[in-house]
Structure 1
């Protein structure tokens, strides 16, 4: 079974590129009126990654009927896209479309709301409503996500308040969604596999949780989705606050208004404790900085403090236990190896 569909303008005759791309967009998302100042020599790339269970992924544009998500990384020049009432009456796949810009700019308008989006400023449009979308720059790169509306357990009228508005992909649950989309676009699962189905479920929960957070309606989520969303929110909170020496399991529980025992229950599937998870992430970040040649002159104690270790002795002991070497030895080995490699390349 095909893992992904790939469109590259260079693979298509110049005279057919734009029309081919328009047809692909209509199949993948929905019919739209498309214009581009570079239509005569259109240069774009799109990969269509279907998720879901075996036999349900279908073709590139079958997300609405298949009941599963479709992820599509894309890179394109200046394009003007319009979806009209007439197009909706003719064909509506019943999708929520989320866009995650990674570079460039996207202007979008729906439900009388206009907004401009840059890197990691996500937005959602509803294919059942007219919209206008523009990428006015010379190059826009991002990731699209198609979710069948029937899979989103939130009132449509509530979701409408978020259409075309900014949803942060830089912090909170939105950052987790953005990171997850980036991971899928990089490590593509085999279509129809158990892994693709699992990723589909997680992606749906993240999408719904991001919407619920935007409308302050987390309590309206189904129990399983609420629990998973809470676990993801907790992890996002921990990642954002690793440098705080006062970040403890108790502080995490208090920030999410849950008991410590409930918090520990969320981490049972991780086969670790909350405190151990925090310590491991801190050590990973510290190790990354210690092996970074650009930070070779930063004192080790400063790096440790940056990642929440208030006492150097505690950090050094935990580091040696985790990696089998001291922080100083780790830095020396990494930087010496980098220097040797640099000399070899230069020669």
Structure 2
């Protein structure tokens, strides 16, 4: 993400106007007010994902209102999905008010008046916002309207996947290549469409390709969370997502993958990472393997050697105590 604004770089008297200006440019023009008795602090980092933009923000107590007059003057025609990561905030639109806490999601639209406010006391709140052109979401506007300014919990399912995706983007200070951004933008559109369809109880309203991509990502996240369970099988994964094992295999085949082989690769990759971690140097090799769902030492050793061309103990010795280890063998 690129840092666009940091109030620490400015004298106190000019911070509020500067923040108002940057928010109008990166989001949509609003009427803006703050508690002048509190030293205003704010920061904003942004990254573009093709036609989408994701911003991570920190800000003091404020109120922001988008009025009909401002909409008539300029409307970028965006939906915004808002994730609170610290503190609380209220969002009002379409005669509804959502009280948002940490890990709550909510949707609002630049084409309709809204009112958002937060009281952070003398501290700050943080959030991540993804702006999506209205034309990109494959759901009718009149159906999405039903979800504006409603809390969309993100503790499980697709909501948790959207929240995790936005949090990772907000935390990542690196710079994405343009091709990476466009691909991640498509993933985010699919995830948000699946989230909205879930809350509308109308999954059939989302085109099949979007549903399949969102389900595939949700299943991968489920597997990551359960890699340490040695009895994790394709049948278990399919049952947890209310699909048939055959359909699960088809989802992975669409990406040129085998379910079981992919799980094994992810387990071995995590074992390899931990074996090279000095902080885990005192942990037995078999304990690291068991931690990632590979409880049989002999099976783990053979699989590791097939994957990386070296025994796990030798790999650990070379990475922690000298030498150069590359995939396929030692040099």
Settle same-fold status: TM greater than 0.5: yes
Distance 2:243 2:70 in 1: 47
2:25 matched residue in structure 1: 27
1:6 matched residue in structure 2: 4
| Contact 1:15–1:41 under 8 Å retained in 2 | no
Give 2:101's match in structure 1, choosing from 117, 125, 130: 117
Gaps of 5+ in 1: 53-67, 338-347
Residue-by-residue CA offset, 1:107-140 (whole Å, 9 max, x unaligned): 123343432321x433322332423231516133
SS in 2 for 1:141: strand
Distance 1:166 1:115 in 2: 7
CA drift at 1:166: 4.1
Residue-by-residue CA offset, 1:136-168 (whole Å, 9 max, x unaligned): 161333321111223222244543444344445
- 1:221-232 alignment, distance < 5 Å: 221-232=206-217
2:189 matched residue in structure 1: 204
1:45 matched residue in structure 2: 43
CA drift at 1:327: 3.5
| Contact 1:108–1:132 under 8 Å retained in 2 | yes
1:254 matched residue in structure 2: 239
| Contact 2:78–2:109 under 8 Å retained in 1 | yes
Gaps of 5+ in 2: 323-331
CA drift at 1:264: 2.7
| Contact 2:153–2:159 under 8 Å retained in 1 | yes
SS in 2 for 1:234: helix
- 1:175-254 alignment, distance < 5 Å: 175-182=160-167, 184=169, 186=172, 187-190=174-177, 193-254=178-239
- Residue 335 to residue 164, structure 1, CA distance change in 2 (3 Å): farther
| Contact 1:172–1:237 under 8 Å retained in 2 | no
Give the TM-score taking structure 1 as reference length.
Answer: 0.76
- Residue 282 to residue 30, structure 1, CA distance change in 2 (3 Å): same
Residue-by-residue CA offset, 1:40-66 (whole Å, 9 max, x unaligned): 8543221333332xxxxxxxxxxxxxx
- Residue 12 to residue 71, structure 1, CA distance change in 2 (3 Å): same
| Contact 1:17–1:41 under 8 Å retained in 2 | no
Instruction: Report runs of 4+ in structure 1 exceeding 6 Å deviation.
Output: none
Matched, 1:106 2:88: yes
Matched, 1:163 2:136: no
Residue-by-residue CA offset, 1:143-197 (whole Å, 9 max, x unaligned): 211112232222445434443444455543334434443555534335xx44433
1:18 matched residue in structure 2: 16
2:307 matched residue in structure 1: 322
| Deviating more after overlay: 19-28 vs 193-202 | 193-202
Distance 1:95 1:156 in 2: 11
SS in 2 for 1:267: helix
- Residue 9 to residue 205, structure 1, CA distance change in 2 (3 Å): same
1:140 matched residue in structure 2: 125
Distance 2:151 2:281 in 1: 38
1:72 matched residue in structure 2: 55
Distance 2:223 2:107 in 1: 26
